[in-house]
Structure 1
């Protein structure tokens, strides 16, 4: 049964409310995570708690239990000079930046002359996520995995 300090491996597909594919483990190894260590979004982790190996699941995760709501305060206009050392910048490029709470990823969403609009929201912020999949394995985590907070 899935509970804290168990290593869990799942095959999954996740789509948005319109049915557009966001991600899938199809054709890859199952996703492995340490339950209770915050390795996956909170809504999925809590939805999997108590389930058993071999069990299929379908869960809908609201933004507050996934990547949060969109925050317009994370959209800013900066000068092109902020991107020193980058020869070419284009809409859609992602950069690491220093935010008020540490490192964040920002995406360029518009460029007008020397003004570059960046968005610090996670690309899935505000998105309802529809997961379906199968629990492939549930095992006890090793002491090392527990100490490190992730699967080895």
Structure 2
């Protein structure tokens, strides 16, 4: 079965940039997602189209097709209590904050007693990313998955 809109796909990946390996999914369950519903970055979702279980391929995405270019004026001041993900914060750590657009990853630049300066660029913004993909499984989505707009099951996106 080929990957087309409304198929549920399981895949393993490694993610690298020009500095080397950033992530490897093989230490956990494969990633599970619903094709054609914006659950992956756009360039990767496009590249998955037409592949099938057992396919291995590599794709390199420019920042525009991945997490976008870095914005220079993206430093914001937030209250430390709003940073989620750790007890103690140091510059360079990635935190999660709730915004009107949902949860966002930010990078801590400076930390004070009550306020922190954070860089709101996605940690991978401005980077050219290389993915090594191995497609593990492709199946038709269930009615419930289509209704919810994402895959269910091990490694699937959990409800927030």
Please give the residue correspondences for 1:16-55 in structure 2 after superposition, counting only pairs within 5 Å: 16-18=17-19, 20-55=20-55
RMSD: 2.5
Structure 2: unaligned runs, 5 residues or longer: 153-160
Shift of 1:61: 1.0
Residue in 2 that maps onto 1:4: 5
TM-score, normalization by structure 1: 0.83
* 2:80 matches 1:83: yes
Q: 1:46 to 1:13 in 2, by over 3 A?
A: same
> Aligned to 1:147, what secondary structure does the other structure show?
helix
Shift of 1:21: 1.4
Q: 1:142 to 1:69 in 2, by over 3 A?
A: same
Q: 1:52 to 1:113 in 2, by over 3 A?
A: closer
> Aligned to 2:144, what secondary structure does the other structure show?
helix
Shift of 1:71: 0.5
* 2:100 matches 1:94: no
TM-score, normalization by structure 2: 0.79
Task: Judge which range, 41-50 or 115-124, deviates more.
Answer: 115-124
Residue in 1 that maps onto 2:127: 127
Looking at CA atoms only, which structure, 1 or 2, has the larger radius of gyration? 1
Please give the residue correspondences for 1:56-75 in structure 2 after superposition, counting only pairs within 5 Å: 56-75=56-75
